[in-house]
Amino acid sequence: MPAVETHLGLVRRARKINRILADTYPDAKAELDFANPFECLVVTVLSAQTTDKRVNAVSPTLFAAYPDAAAMAAADRETLEQIIGSLGFFRAKADSLLRLSATLASEFGGQVPDTLAQLVKLPGVGRKTANVVLGNAFGLPGITVDTHFGRLARRFGFTEQTDPVKVEHEVGELFPKKEWTPLSHHLIWHGRRICHAQRPACGACPVARQCPAFGAGPTDPVAAAKLVRTEGRN
């Protein structure tokens, strides 16, 4: 990799990294379970400050009790809190779900909107959540800048920004829109499995040759292999 990288060089390297990660994680997808846009929105809101595994554990009971926005808007708060009580910040999340569902029921006919502008106006929904819903529930282009995506985007040299909106825009310029959602999955999966925050498994990384941060973690293949997680976690 040249000492001074041109923008064209960056675009080519970024897209090569994405191709390699696509081959590495051919099954990469959202690791939250959902069956429709409403469920996608709810589980994404619940996933903040907790693991996808914990959200997936409570979601069957949650959606059996409240299958749509109208039902959740009418939920008894104490019962709702009991269902999601194993999740972090469950009281605040219960409040978000009640207000979110009430807004969907009263202003959107119970349907989840499919535009970024409308989604971010919903209570408790920011750009990250909105992009998850757009990309995974509606098949529309969206870049999900969570902690993993932001960390890897900076390590790969896609951006130097730390603000999620600026990261989203700068990284988005490097890829065709059709690649935005798969790119999000690839970086998030890689961040959860190999490119960890504290000790990235550099010696086991499939994009080591393309990564300017190579050496941030153990480069010895044997030592690095011990750090690899076979399943992702938040």
Positions annotated as catalytic residues are 128, 146
d(CA 71, CA 118): 21
Return the DSSP state at 210.
Answer: G
- Complete DSSP assignment for 174-209: TS-GGGHHHHHHHHHHHHHHTS-SSS--GGG-TTGG
Q: How many Cβ atoms sit within 10 Å of the Cβ of residue 130?
A: 23
φ and ψ at residue 63, rounded to 5 degrees: -80, -20
Closest CA to 104 of 88, 123, 87: 123
Query: Residue 80 and residue 73: Cα distance in Å, rounded?
Result: 10
Which two tokens mark 68? 């749509």
68 DSSP assignment: S
